[in-house]
Chains A and B, each alone.
Chain A
Amino acid sequence: MIDRDKNVIEVSHLTKKFGDFTAVDDISFEVHKGEIFGFLGANGAGKTTAMRMLTGLSFPTSGKGSVAGFDVWTQSEQIKKHIGYMSQKFSLYGDLTVRDNLEIFAGIYGMKRQVASVRIEELLERLSLTGESRSVVRDLPQGWKQRLAFSVAIIHKPEIMFLDEPTGGVDPAARRQFWELIYEAVDEGITAFVTTHYMDEAEYCDRISMMVDGRIDALDSPAALKLKYGADSIADVFDILARGAKRTE
């Protein structure tokens, strides 16, 4: 299912500076089509800055990058059409209903009415929210809100979904359910680019990268990384790498 010959994200020597501060320091990596790519790092390591460049929210200072085949320098409009994004903050409209939220984002991504309504029914069913489609989002439990936010991010079947700490603040059972959703979306052919600081979640990824002080210090499959650093878990690998970090929050 993972197509190693086809990359949906290609980044080489990407750098972002804010004045004297180098937030992202010369990173290079590829994300293969159909994989779940874990983008790990401590707070302040530069994850968010890197993600903002990949999602077309800001321009790099130097380096090259392409997302879904479009250049980050010149084609950010095209990139935005082909990606989905789920923010770490809950970012749906609490005052509107489940269906309203889905319809709004279907409209924002320019989906045709019939296509959108089929897709909305499908997603509601997958979330088991069909009965709640007229409920106001504000009143839903946190776990459901997050799953709805996820559905909104993939409503237009993007090539890549960027999930920025999608499971923050939910209990382990809800996290497990959430990852089921990610797998289902990946089965649909969507590539997942996930940041997280739950190290157990990192084990669910096909490959992970670890950012320390703006650089990518390690990038491989979880099993290979554990082997390389002689660690029992990804958390231990992370500890070994993070020990060298100079930046703290």
Chain B
Amino acid sequence: MREFFAFVRKEFLHIFRDTRTLLVLIGLPTVLIVLFGFAISTEIRNVNVGLLSSDGDLPVMRLMEEIDQSEYFTFKGSYPSEDRIEEAMRRGQIDVALIFGKGFSSRLYSPEGAEVAIVADATNPNNASMEVMYLSSIISSYFRDDMVMAAMMSPSAGYGSLVPNLKMMYNPQLKSSYNFVPGIMGLILMLICSLMTSVSIVKEKETGSMEVLLVSPVKPINIVLAKMIPYFVVACVVLINILLLTIFVLKVPVEGSFFWMILVSVIYIVLSLGIGMLVSAVVRTQIIATLICGVIFLVPVMMFSGMLYPLESMPAALQWFAQLIPAKWFIEAMRKIMIEGVPVRYVTNEILIMTAMAVIFFAAAVMKFNDKLD
């Protein structure tokens, strides 16, 4: 045991003597959280809205005022024809237009119903679909109030219920930070655990100190386990740092149980350490270790974990591939627990899959490490 602790101490020394790397480890998540939380955002803001409404309808004008007041939209003015709307859109004056049919407000309370078209500039499809979603949500909630009133006044008609009732569950303000926080956690923890561990193990092979360690009485498996402990601790510090930032800086209301959030994260940390260990058992140079961790494990976290692009819109083959990405399961579980606040039995699948992956990676790494010896 004394031998083992001498090792753990050595690994801590490596980390603490290298203050620059330590700062990066702690600072990077902070920067990313702030960047993704505030600067880079998939929320839409300052969207210019144009209007085409044949007869200066009062309810329509009131609706436009309401839209203008929301933090997302700016009402740019009315246009006389669809051609002018298109022209304005081409010139970039407006991003989205609302086209109300003739006699909109009077038909609203008639059994045939009223029609409104939302025309969006879909050059950026993500933005366009968000704009449409936001607008339809504003419109329907606006007229729902009106129609409920109408329905109360003439209960026999009963057409108030025709309006769709959109509700953005768990994230009513459609804040993108809710989506990003679990993603960033998945990314950073993977970075620290797999990349840093594997590079630090492979470094010893490169410099030749591994040879001296192998000649010492320390068991090879202990050399590797001792490497993991400090990175496990660093990962936990980073995890707590991210959670604090999330709650106090991004002000994401954490719904779920902290215990399960931490537990799921710890499983993911262990899983990432297993990946780092396997990589270090397979490769010989730091540069290859960096490439493997970066390309095979970090890029897919961005692409396939649902952090940037929704998985559902990918081709089936890629969706299958995404199931193999450990971070995907972690991010899903964290989203469910953190944002939706569901009880843990709804994330049993994710937890089991991550545990299984961790076991597989560790088993493979231990096997690989042992047969390397001779």
Contacts and interface: CB of A to CB of B under 8 A. Distances in A.
**Pair from one complex:** yes
B217 A108 contact: yes
Interface string B1-16: 0110111011001100
Interface stretch (A90-98, A177-185, A213-221, A239-247): A90-98
Nearest to B210: A91
Contact of A108 (B18, B207, B213): B213
A109 B374 contact: no
B216 interface: yes
B55 interface: no
B216 A80 contact: yes
A80 B215 contact: yes
Contacts of A46: none
Contacts of A55: 215
Nearest to B216: A108
B6 A107 contact: yes
Contact of B207 (A89, A96, A100, A136): A89
A209 to B, nearest CB: 21
Interface string A104-147: 11111110000000000000000000000000100000000000
B59 to A, nearest CB: 71
Contacts of A109: 3, 216-217
B218 interface: yes
Contact of B215 (A83, A90, A95, A100): A83
Nearest to A84: B215
Nearest to B374: A58
A188 interface: no
Contacts of B214: 57
Interface in B210-232: 211-218
Contacts of B315: none
Contacts of A91: 207-209, 211-212
Given A57-B215, A59-B374, A89 B208 contact: yes
Nearest to A82: B217
A107 B3 contact: yes
Contacts of B218: 108
Contacts of A106: 6
B216 A87 contact: no
Contacts of A107: 2-3, 5-7, 9-10
Contacts of B91: none
A96 B204 CA distance: 14
Which has the most chain A C-beta neighbours within 10 Å: B7, B13, B14, B215?
Answer: B215
Interface in B189-248: 207-209, 211-218
A7 B3 CA distance: 29
B36 to A, nearest CB: 32
B345 interface: no
A85 B7 contact: no
A162 B216 CA distance: 12
A28 B13 CA distance: 44
Given A80-B217, A95-B18, A104 B9 contact: yes
Given A87-B211, A100-B13, A77 B6 contact: no
A222 interface: no
B9 A85 contact: no
Contact of B17 (A58, A80, A96, A153): A96
Contacts of A93: 10, 14, 209
A203 B5 CA distance: 42
A56 B5 CA distance: 23
A81 interface: yes
Interface in B289-313: none
A91 B208 CA distance: 5
B6 A104 contact: yes
Nearest to B1: A110
A132 to B, nearest CB: 16
Contacts of A58: 373-374
A16 to B, nearest CB: 11
Given A80-B216, A81-B217, A110 B3 contact: yes
A94 B18 CA distance: 11
Nearest to A104: B10
Contacts of A83: 215
Contacts of B207: 89-91, 94
Most buried by A among B10, B208, B218: B10
A110 B18 CA distance: 26
Nearest to B212: A91
Contact of A85 (B5, B10, B215): B215
Contacts of A59: 374
20 contacts: A55-B215, A57-B211, A57-B373, A58-B373, A77-B217, A85-B215, A85-B216, A91-B208, A91-B211, A93-B209, A96-B13, A100-B10, A103-B6, A107-B7, A107-B9, A108-B7, A108-B213, A108-B217, A108-B218, A109-B216
Interface of A: 55-59, 77, 80-81, 83, 85-87, 89-96, 100, 103-110, 136, 152-153, 162
Interface of B: 2-3, 5-7, 9-10, 13-14, 17-18, 207-209, 211-218, 373-374
Given A85-B215, A87-B211, A93-B209, 11 more contacts: A80-B216, A80-B217, A85-B211, A87-B212, A96-B10, A104-B7, A104-B13, A106-B6, A108-B218, A152-B212, A162-B215
In the A-B complex, the 10 residue pairs with the closest CB atoms: A107-B6, A89-B208, A85-B215, A91-B208, A91-B209, A80-B217, A91-B212, A104-B10, A81-B217, A108-B216
